[in-house]
Amino acid sequence: MLVTIQQTKSNTENLFEVTSNGQLLFQAKAPWMKISLPFNAEDLRELTFSNPAGEIVYTTRYRFIDNLVEELIPFKYLLTKGQRFGQFEIIGRNGSEGSFYVMQNGLFDSKFCIECMGNAYLGYSLDRGRNNYVSIYDDEKQIAQITKPLTVTDNLDVYFLHIKDEYASIIPVLSFFTVYYDYRKYNHSGELTKNTVQISNSYTYGKNNDKYNPNWIAKEFGQQAADELEQKLRKIREQGSSQAKKIVKLVGLAYLVLILLAIVLFVVLKSILG
């Protein structure tokens, strides 16, 4: 199953829509205003996740004390072999339903943890060229993959979540995790943008690189699904390149106008001063 998590607004608000087969499944919102407070207290602000009618399904609660204690000693994981970062509790209609956090087990060994209703899933993040991938595992079995193109226009990120049908019940949690992931890793809060584009190529190396299987989507969903994803990614790259060319032309035109104005001003001043 393919689920798309698309950021729809990045100026003054960070808004997301979760869709599948053209149908709106959920909406989400992350904090936008960029502030910096002692002990990361700005993270006390909530991420929210709602159904199409706007009714809240999940919110987050930043575990302030737990994070303060856990993150107090830098590089503690080098001694304890385990340190949690960015612990956010998942609050549902019936109270606490789990949490999101990053587990650091070594200098090159980190993973995202998704705990929900007594189950634990691990997400391994990897940059590979023009895309970022998060491979989601249930124990030793891969159950989902999140694909994010590193070409971004106007800070509007998009994520493609492929998930095995037997895990469809956790689509809401994984979609909400994707918003958390965006907030933690690709947050552009406080930025006002228009007609901008970021085109990146990146590679990350770590102990868990082998958790990414480039053939997983084709294996689980068929080659057509893999080809369709590549078409979506290619279209995003082409749109980004087109936008970048327009920006370069506009900047070049602006410089040309400035040069012409400078020449005209020089001629006028020269004629006045004789």
- In tens, the pLDDT along 177-233 reads 999 999 999 988 788 888 899 999 999 999 999 999 999 999 999 999 999 999 999
The Cα–Cα gap between 136 and 124 comes to: 7
For the stretch 108-151, pLDDT in tens is 999 999 999 899 999 999 999 999 999 999 999 999 999 999 99
Segments in the chain forming alpha helices (H): 64-70, 77-80, 171-185, 216-221, 223-273
Least confident of 2-11, 203-212, 224-233, 235-244: 235-244
Query: 188-218: string of b/e by CB count within 10 Å (b at 16+)?
Result: bbeeeeeeebbeeeeeeebebeebbeeebbe
The Cα–Cα gap between 50 and 17 comes to: 10
In 10 A of CB 138, how many CB atoms?
16
Check: CB of residue 122 under 8 Å from CB of residue 207.
no
Torsion angles phi and psi, residue 125, rounded to 5:
-95, 140
For the stretch 74-116, pLDDT in tens is 889 988 989 999 999 999 999 999 999 999 999 999 999 999 9
CA atoms lying within 13 Å on the CB side of residue 93: 5
Is residue 252's pLDDT more than 80?
no
In the numeric block, the tokens 């057509």 are attached to: 224
Give pLDDT, residue 274.
61
Residues 251, 244, 134: CA angle, nearest 5 degrees: 145
The Cα–Cα gap between 97 and 173 comes to: 10
Domain ranges of the chain: 2-241
Check: CB of residue 42 under 8 Å from CB of residue 31.
yes
Is residue 166's pLDDT more than 90?
yes
